[in-house]
Amino acid sequence: MTSPSAPSPEKIFPVSWDQFHRDCRALTWRLNGIGPFAAVIGITRGGLVPATIVARELGVRMIDTVCVVSYEHQTQGELTLLKPPSEQTMALGGGTGKGLLIVDDLVDTGKTARVVRDLLPDAHFATVYAKPMGKPLVDTFITEVSQDTWIFFPWDTGLAFQPPLRDGSA
């Protein structure tokens, strides 16, 4: 990822479907004692998969989305709020998000998290992965990675041969 406020990625962290699912379940274990939650709100697009897994594991049937655009492949640009939570979901959270769970795959610089936090200041915010710049904006996460790490999520990659590290490929 490159952006004016964040360093260029120096480290690559590929995450498999299996690992991501385990990390989402681990996130759910941490969240289990915090709820109950009236609804889960996934931040699109990356938060949709973990929101689905977390909602399933917690037994939450009300799932909504907040649609925010900030990335184009590996470049972070201006933030655009495309869709806030529905009026019904907002009402469940008393207009401030109390009793609601926001889920995203990653908090990076915190720009997206700040927009969503401003919409739902009392919601519980959970991410699977967190980078130092965004970590203060989330309540619960599983794995911290350095700010200069780019995470390749399973939906971003395909199976391919990986040469050994000693060959200088990584």
* CA distance linking residue 103 with residue 67, whole number of Å: 12
Residue 75: the pLDDT is 60
3-state secondary structure of 86: coil
For residue 6, is it within any domain?
no
Q: What is the pTM of this model?
A: 0.85
Cβ atoms within 10 Å, residue 72: 8
* CA distance linking residue 34 with residue 31, whole number of Å: 5
Residue 2: the pLDDT is 38
State which residues form the domain around 61: 16-154
Residue 78: the pLDDT is 80
For residue 159, is it within any domain?
no
Tokens of 27: 């996130």
Active site residues per annotation: 104-105, 108
E strand segments, 73-99:
75-83
* CA distance linking residue 75 with residue 17, whole number of Å: 23
For residue 129, is it within any domain?
yes
Low-confidence ranges of the chain (pLDDT < 70): 1-9, 71-77, 162, 167-170
Residue 3: the pLDDT is 40
* CA distance linking residue 95 with residue 149, whole number of Å: 35
The CATH number that applies at residue 88 is 3.40.50.2020
Domain count, the chain: 1
For residue 2, is it within any domain?
no
Tokens of 118: 């401003």
Residue 123: the pLDDT is 98
For residue 10, is it within any domain?
no
